[in-house]
Structure 1
Amino acid sequence: MAEFSDYIVYVDESGDHSLTSIDADFPVFSLSFCVVKKDEYLSQVVPAMQALKFKYWGHDSVVLHEHEIRKSKGDFTFLLTDRSLREQFYEDLNQVMVDAPITIIASVIDKVKLTAKYANPWSPYDLALHFCLERLQAFLRENGQEGRLTHVVFECRGKAEDDDLELTFRRIVAGEGHWGYRKHKFEIMEFEPKFAKKSVNSTGLQLADLTARPLALRTLRPGQSNRALEVIMTKMGAVKEFP
């Protein structure tokens, strides 16, 4: 049996990766890897998230989703009714992020610039995934994880999409997905993709979900004030904007 890594990685995205129909209002794609030590995830991250849920809902079956929080939908409609409660919720949620011992590795692809620069560009998802895996490998190597098996957890999107993503992932780590002037050597690490349904209510996936859009907005609207982004940037291990 493989020796497991001390770290686990949770992944989420913001924006779509289509190059045939680019949304003029959101022409970027971001991919965020939230990397966390397993012992700290168990002892700090999960309890803090559970405490937040019990405080505001009285149970822990709620799934924190950035879009629903931002739009005050579903389980978050209470944010519309009481301004002081809304402000307290955001303060508490930001504190969970502040306290979370996570490292964020991210990539943001400007699809307009990408299509303008390259005649036959790679998929923004493939590019972002490649960038993030390169930097994840460097991070793990620096932290003594060489030769260990690291799981990278994605949220399920549908069988066909998940199958395509897994194939792309495995090709990249097998060294078949290199581009540009050099071939990156992934074989010194072992990576395994895992896919989890939203109903699993993964704390790690919810943290990743809270990071992807603010990072996209950093590229799309530089200089715009964003409290969530301010917190996220204190956790940043690496971010690659391309092209």
Structure 2
Amino acid sequence: MQQWQICRTKLTNEAISDTDYLISIDETGTPTLKNLNESSPKQLRWFTISCCIFNKDCINDNAEKIMNLKNNFWQDGNYHGHRIYLHSRDIRRKQGPFNLDNTLYSKFINELGNCISDIDFTVCSASIDKWAHVKQYSHPAPVYDLALKFMLERIVMFLSHKSSTGILLLECRGWKEDNELLSQIVAYLKNGTGYFSSEKLKCIKGIYFEKKRTKDQNKSYWPFELSDIAAHNLNEYAATNEKTKIFSLIEPKIIGYPNKIDGRGIKKFP
């Protein structure tokens, strides 16, 4: 077995060079099924896992575009001694570095949108309506496990269509939690998902973990920033069927666009 199959492993340049696509994964909402009812607010009712799929040949170009955005609003792209991190919640709430005056904030939001439009990547997601899930099934499957399986299937569909390979990049949470998640994904790679056999999942060549920023705080892992922004807006669409401004910019990048994204790039369950 390779190291990445055994325990949490950091991303390496070699891992990137040996594959075609880098796939960053993020989530929004909580997977718990406790304390749900018909009146539960959407942020409690819905759980979404999404991913952004980047061609490795575009990684340096994408990184440059994001750094240019940060440099346009913060000196050297830094704030209080660390690299700016485009965190969706902080941006929406105008917290920390995004606590800008109204004119500058509006300009930043416009340039963020232009940057997202300009970056070359593909998006897909899996969302669970937890209340509907609980009502429909007497023994509902664990929400995270279900969304993860749907997410992996969409990644495999994309890679298979391209006759390509990819590696998964996940954000570090904690040693125990990360290794539990790793074991969960590796089990799918070994046994299949029920829809796809293990042979089909061989297009996924590795699973790696990184923190939001490097230890010295001088670099951020920008794929996480985009997958975080995507996850929030895809979750909003799943919960309300309404398209935020950012969703409208992401929409052309969703698998299945322009013909059909619902059920393909966007999976809603049940």
Q: TM-score, normalised by structure 2?
A: 0.81
Task: Select the residue among 18, 29, 49 that pairs with 2:66.
Answer: 49
Aligned to 2:198: 186
- C-alpha deviation, 1:76, in angstroms: 1.3
The match for 2:247 is 229
Q: Deviations over 1:124-147 (max 9, x none)?
A: 2111111111111111111121xx
User: Alignment partner for residue 159 of structure 1, among 175, 183, 196?
Assistant: 175
Structure 2 residue aligned with 1:64: 86
Corresponding residue for residue 109 of structure 1: 128
Higher deviation after alignment, 188-197 or 205-214? 188-197
| Structure 1 residues without counterparts, runs of 5 or longer | none
Q: CA deviation at 1:103?
A: 0.4
Q: Aligned partners of 1:212 and 1:183: how far apart in 2? A: 24
The partner residue of 1:37 within 50, 55, 65 is: 55
> Are the equivalent residues in 1 in contact too, given 2:22–2:168 (CA < 8 A)?
yes
Q: CA deviation at 1:183?
A: 4.5
1:28 aligned partner, one-letter code: W
Does the CA contact (< 8 Å) of 1:175 and 1:183 recur in 2? no
Q: Cα 1:165–1:143, aligned 2, differ >3 Å: closer, same or farther?
A: same
Query: Which residue, out of 138, 141, 156, partners 2:157?
Result: 138
Q: Is the 8 A contact 1:32 1:211 kept in 2?
A: yes
1:210 aligns with 2:229: yes
Q: CA RMSD in A?
A: 1.8
SS of structure 1 residue aligned to 2:34: coil
Q: Helix, strand or coil for the counterpart of 1:106?
A: strand
Aligned to 1:14: 28
How much does 1:160 deviate? 2.4
Native 8 Å contact 1:31 1:212 kept in 2: yes
Residues 155-205 of structure 1, C-alpha deviations (whole Å, 9 max, x = no match): 1122222122111111111126x4xxx452132424222111112310111
SS at structure 2 position matched to 1:194: strand
Offset, 1:66: 0.4
| The 10-residue stretch of structure 1 (7-16 or 185-194) with the greater mean CA deviation from structure 2 | 185-194
Distance (Å, rounded) in 2 between the aligned partners of 1:228 and 1:202: 20
Separation in 1 of the partners of 2:33 and 2:150?
18
Equivalent residue letter for 1:11: I
Residue correspondences, number: 231
8 Å Cα contact 1:29-1:216 kept in structure 2:
yes
- The code of the aligned residue for 1:233 comes to E
The answer to whether the 8 Å contact 2:153/2:195 transfers is: no
